[in-house]
């Protein structure tokens, strides 16, 4: 099997810098060895320049592939090619699937039923809370959460999913070039139970034009794409459009009408995206078989947060999702002793209705 991997790697290394050209060559020559040995005239007709033709020719292409293969093995990475049985089924069906996927972590995570959660890099506290809760609720019911490891909503989605199950991060750089660096520990945690993947050769920097390509993989791996918060001009909307082009379901979480990061999601809702208030709304958009399975795992649950008691509601009503409130302010607002307020806050936190922050600050989760 390694020989087949070398051939696919050789093709990817020669043409990875042109997504269209790689797609056209792969379409014309379904077997990589045929592309490597194709006549120069055929390759020129497909758009290959002399440099790319040179890179395709053995032994140069095969030598480069062997070196790349040795490097990824030393790093403990796996490689999936388009002809591997483990290649993700949903990704295989898109218009231009990557011919190779570098994988760090558990390859089997790519075969699970998946939903993408994406959004802005600068979310509100409300957006963070929603992304974490949705991801955790879906992951705990067997859904793999797919996102792009970016700051903001992506990181919240991965973090929430890790509390309940598995998640997959798709990079816009080589697997050994962690971007953003701030999420290095998160990537380590993801690879422990899920997977971090990329179609880009090792050492590829996170260049701007890599990310639309990354987004098509996020959409391609998923049965549905949920946008939590997004501005009007947002990469998350590109992901949603790519998913729509591939016949996937699109859903969006409504937000504050005065918030700029809600404009993109509200635009999607106006265009007919499913409105999401809980994991149930997402599950309803999945295929009938998967929907029934997910719903069964959530049997007895409404998908909404548990109701607070009357005393708890008196505290909860004074908290907001988009800003934190100090416990001293809650004591003053409710007229209750501090020990009683703290007891009620603990109960609300256990129910998942409240999130605690540093400095005795609290906010509503959703």
Q: How many CB atoms lie within 10 A of CB 301?
A: 14
Write the pLDDT tens digit of every residue in 222-239. Answer: 999 999 999 988 889 999
1 confidence band (pLDDT: 50, 70, 90): low
Stated as kind and residue range, the H or E segment containing 169 is strand 167-170
Q: What is the pLDDT of residue 366?
A: 61
> 99 pLDDT exceeds 70?
yes
Distance of alpha carbon 333 from alpha carbon 345, whole angstroms: 14
208 confidence band (pLDDT: 50, 70, 90): very high
> 137 pLDDT exceeds 80?
yes
- The larger pLDDT score, comparing residue 342 to residue 199, is at 199
Write the pLDDT tens digit of every residue in 286-320. Answer: 988 888 888 888 644 444 556 788 888 899 989 98
Q: Give the 3-state secondary structure percentages of the chain, helix then strand then coil, rounded to 5.
A: 50, 15, 35
Q: What is the pLDDT of residue 11?
A: 98
> 150 pLDDT exceeds 60?
yes
Q: What is the pLDDT of residue 302?
A: 46
> 359 pLDDT exceeds 80?
no
Mode of pairing for the β-strands spanning 114-118 and 100-105: unpaired
Measured at the alpha carbon of residue 107, what is the angle toward residues 189 and 101, in degrees to the nearest 5?
A: 100
Distance of alpha carbon 262 from alpha carbon 234, whole angstroms: 11
350 confidence band (pLDDT: 50, 70, 90): low
Residue from 250, 251, 241, 258 nearest 277 by CA: 251
Measured at the alpha carbon of residue 332, what is the angle toward residues 328 and 337, in degrees to the nearest 5?
A: 80
Average pLDDT over the chain, rounded to whole? 92
pTM of the predicted model as reported, rounded to 2 decimal places:
0.84
> 257 pLDDT exceeds 90?
no
Which of these ranges, 42-56, 126-140, 310-324, 342-356, has the smallest mean pLDDT?
A: 342-356
> 358 pLDDT exceeds 80?
no
Q: What is the pLDDT of residue 306?
A: 62
Length of the chain (residues) = 366
């Amino acid at each position: 099997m390694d020989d087949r991997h070398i051939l696919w790697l050789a093709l990817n290394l020669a043409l990875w810098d042109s997504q269209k050209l790689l797609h056209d060559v792969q379409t014309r020559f379904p077997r990589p060895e045929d592309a490597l040995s194709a006549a120069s005239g055929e390759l020129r007709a497909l758009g290959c320049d002399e440099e790319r033709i040179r890179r395709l020719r053995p032994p140069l292409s095969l030598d480069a592939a062997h070196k790349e293969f040795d490097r990824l093995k030393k790093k403990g990475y796996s490689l999936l090619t388009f002809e591997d049985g483990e290649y993700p089924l949903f990704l295989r069906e898109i218009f231009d699937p990557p011919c190779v996927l570098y994988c760090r972590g558990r390859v089997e995570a790519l075969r699970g039923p998946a939903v993408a959660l994406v959004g802005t890099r600068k979310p509100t506290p409300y957006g963070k809370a929603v992304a974490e809760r949705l991801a955790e609720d879906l992951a705990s019911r067997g859904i793999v959460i797919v996102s792009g490891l970016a700051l903001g909503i992506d990181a919240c989605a991965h973090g929430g999913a890790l509390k309940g199950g598995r998640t997959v991060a798709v990079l816009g750089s080589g697997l050994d070039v962690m971007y953003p660096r701030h999420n290095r520990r998160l990537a380590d945690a993801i690879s422990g139970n899920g997977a971090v993947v990329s179609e880009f050769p090792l050492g590829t920097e996170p260049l701007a034009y890599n990310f639309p390509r990354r987004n098509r993989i996020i959409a391609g791996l998923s049965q549905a794409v949920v946008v939590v918060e997004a501005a009007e001009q947002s990469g998350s909307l590109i992901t949603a459009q790519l998913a729509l082009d591939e016949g996937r379901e699109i859903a969006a979480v409504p937000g504050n009408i005065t918030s700029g990061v809600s404009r993109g999601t509200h635009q999607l809702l106006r265009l007919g995206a499913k409105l999401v208030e809980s994991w149930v709304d997402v599950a309803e958009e999945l295929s009938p078989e998967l929907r029934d399975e997910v719903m069964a795992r959530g049997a007895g649950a409404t998908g909404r947060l548990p109701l607070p008691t009357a005393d708890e509601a008196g505290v909860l009503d004074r908290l907001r999702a988009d800003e934190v409130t100090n416990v001293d302010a809650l004591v003053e607002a409710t007229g209750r002793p501090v020990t009683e307020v703290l007891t009620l806050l603990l109960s609300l936190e256990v129910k998942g209705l409240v999130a605690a922050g540093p400095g005795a600050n609290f906010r509503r989760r959703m």
